[in-house]
């Protein structure tokens, strides 16, 4: 098992709109495809920071879920075209992380 910690930076003045889009469109869509979303966060001291975490049981599961989400017509034609208006993709950071033995998140 591993997690994917995704750190995004929104364009100026777009974080509130981005969070609404994530919570009303992206997260429900990805969850409907089988993604396990552990959490969704905003920066307290940074007004452009948005972080979310997904969990995967294996690399094979991650690949299958990526295909189900990112190769779908809904993602390519409806969801993805809206993202560049709100997010600075060049500043996106994606990390794979694994819980330690004492971690309460597993």
pLDDT tens for each residue of 47-61: 999 999 999 999 999
Identify the CATH number of the domain in which residue 83 sits: 3.30.70.100
pTM higher than 0.75:
yes
Q: Does 106 fall in a domain?
A: no
Position 102 in a domain: no
Q: Is 105 within 8 Å of 11 (Cβ atoms)?
A: no
Whether residue 45 is predicted with pLDDT greater than 90 in this model: the reply is yes
* Residue 55 to residues 24, 28, 43, 50, 93, Cα–Cα distance (Å): 20, 15, 21, 17, 16
In a domain, 103, yes or no: no
pLDDT reading at 106 higher than 90: no
pLDDT tens digits, one per residue of 2-20: 999 999 999 999 999 999 9
Q: What is the mean pLDDT of residues 34-39?
A: 97
- For residue 13, give its domain range: 2-97
What is the domain count for the chain?
A: 1
Q: Is residue 18 part of a domain?
A: yes
Asked if residue 33 is part of any domain, the answer here is yes
């Amino acid at each position: 098992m591993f997690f994917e910690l995704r750190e995004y930076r929104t364009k100026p003045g777009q974080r509130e709109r981005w969070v609404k889009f994530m919570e009303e469109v992206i997260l429900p869509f990805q969850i409907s495809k089988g993604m396990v979303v552990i959490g969704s966060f905003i920066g307290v001291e940074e007004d452009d920071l948005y972080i979310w975490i997904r969990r995967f049981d294996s690399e094979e599961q991650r690949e299958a879920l990526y295909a189900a989400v990112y190769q779908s017509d809904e993602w390519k034609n409806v969801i993805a075209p809206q993202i560049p208006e709100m997010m600075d993709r060049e500043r996106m950071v994606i990390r794979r992380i694994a819980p330690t033995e004492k971690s309460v998140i597993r």
